[in-house]
Structure 1
C-alpha cells in the first residue's frame, strides 16, 4: 500500500511494512514451490498443506493492517474494497483452513482441496509479491521498472480468477464439516458463497478501473 506523498516516519513505516510483506510472501511461495516437485512425484500433495499452513497463516494475518491503514487514511486505498478483500482472505485462513484443513485439504482423500490450497497460495502469493514489491520500490524513492508496472496491472487478469475459484472450492468443501459443528455455520458459508459472485465482480472491476486510470496517466507523462 502507498499514499499519495508519505513523508518522514509515515514513509519509513510504509516502506518497512511493504518490504516485510514482500519478504514473508516471497518466503511462503518459494517454500511451497520447493516442496511441490517431490510431493507430486511421490503423490503426497496433502503434505504441502501440513508443512506450509502455519507460515501462510501468519503472513496472511498481517493483512489486517491493510484495513487499519485505509481506515485511518494512512493510504488512499478504498476502505470498502480493502475490507472486502482482506475479510475474504481471513475467512479462508482462519475460518476454513485452520479448523477444517485436515479434512478438506491435508488428507489423501481430498485432492481437489489440495489443488485449491495450492491455487490460493499461488494466486495470493504472486499477487502480493508484485504488489508489495511495487510499493516498496516506490517508497524507497526509486523508479519502478516498466516490466514490474506491467506485472502489477496485468497479472490479476489471470491470478484473480484462480484465487477466487480456489477460495470458493475450499468454502464449498467446508460445508459438510461446518454443518457438524453447527447448521448455522454451514448456512453462513452458503451465504458467503452467494456473496462471492457480486463481491468478486466489484473487486475485479475495481482493479480493471485502477489499471486503466494508472496506465492512462502513465501515457500522459511519457
Structure 2
C-alpha cells in the first residue's frame, strides 16, 4: 500500500473550507441516497409526482448554500473562476427558487390518471434528472475536496477518475433536465406575467453558449489534471 502524503497543519481558512465541504458532502449524500431509493420506487408505483414533495425542500436549501462558493471564488479562498462558478450556481438557483418554487405544478400536480398535468411525466422525469445528476456530481466533487484538504494530497485514483470523467455523462443529464423544467414552466409563467416568462426564455437561450463554456471548462481541468499525473508517473 502506497504511503499517503499527510496534510500540514491547516490554517483557519483551510479549516473553514474543510468544514464547508464536509457539511455539503453530508447534505448531498443524504439527498442522493434518498433519490436513488425513491426514484425507482415512486416511478414503479406510478407516483413520480411525489418525488417533489419528498425531496424539494431539502434540495432547495442545500443548493442555496452553494451561493457561498461564489463568495469563496471572488474572495480568492479557492482557485476556482468566479465567472464559471457563478454561472453554474446561478443556473441551479434559478431552477430551485424560480422554476420549482414558483411552479411546483409542473412536477407535482397530477390528473386522474396520475400523470403530471404539465407535460405527461416529463416534469417528474426532469426533476429525477436533476436529483441524479446534481447529487452524484456533488457527492463526488465534495468527497474529492474533503479527501484532498483533510486527509491527504494524494487522492485515490478511483475518486480522481470519477471527479474528472463522470461529467461527460452527468452534465448532459443535468443540463437537459434543467432546460426541460424551464420549458415546462413557460406556460404557467406566461399566465402570471411577462417578467418571469421572458426571464426563462432568455435563460434558455443562454444555456447553449453557457453549457458549452462550462463543459469545455471541465474538459480543460481534466486535461490539466491528467497531464500533471502523466508527468508525475
> Which TM class, normalised by the smaller chain length?
over 0.9
Which residue in 2 is equivalent to 1:171?
182
**Counterpart selection for 2:93 from 82, 90, 93:** 90
Which residue in 2 is equivalent to 1:160?
171
Of 17-26 and 176-185, more deviation after overlay is shown by 176-185
Q: Distance in 1 between matches of 2:209 and 2:40?
A: 36
Q: Distance in 1 between matches of 2:122 and 2:40?
A: 18
Cα RMSD, aligned residues only: 1.3
Q: Distance in 1 between matches of 2:199 and 2:61?
A: 25
Which residue in 2 is equivalent to 1:107?
109
Q: Distance in 2 between matches of 1:203 and 1:98?
A: 25
Which residue in 2 is equivalent to 1:47?
50
Which residue in 2 is equivalent to 1:151?
162
Which residue in 1 is equivalent to 2:211?
200
TM-score (norm 1): 0.95
**Structure 2: gaps (5+ residues):** 1-7
List, as ranges, runs of 4+ consecutive aligned residues in structure 1 with deviation greater than 3 Å: none
Which residue in 1 is equivalent to 2:147?
137
Structure 2 counterparts to residues 4-83 of structure 1, below 5 A: 7-83=10-86
Q: Distance in 2 between matches of 1:209 and 1:88?
A: 21
Q: Distance in 2 between matches of 1:168 and 1:74?
A: 31
Higher radius of gyration, 1 or 2? 2
TM-score (norm 2): 0.90
Q: How many residues align?
A: 217
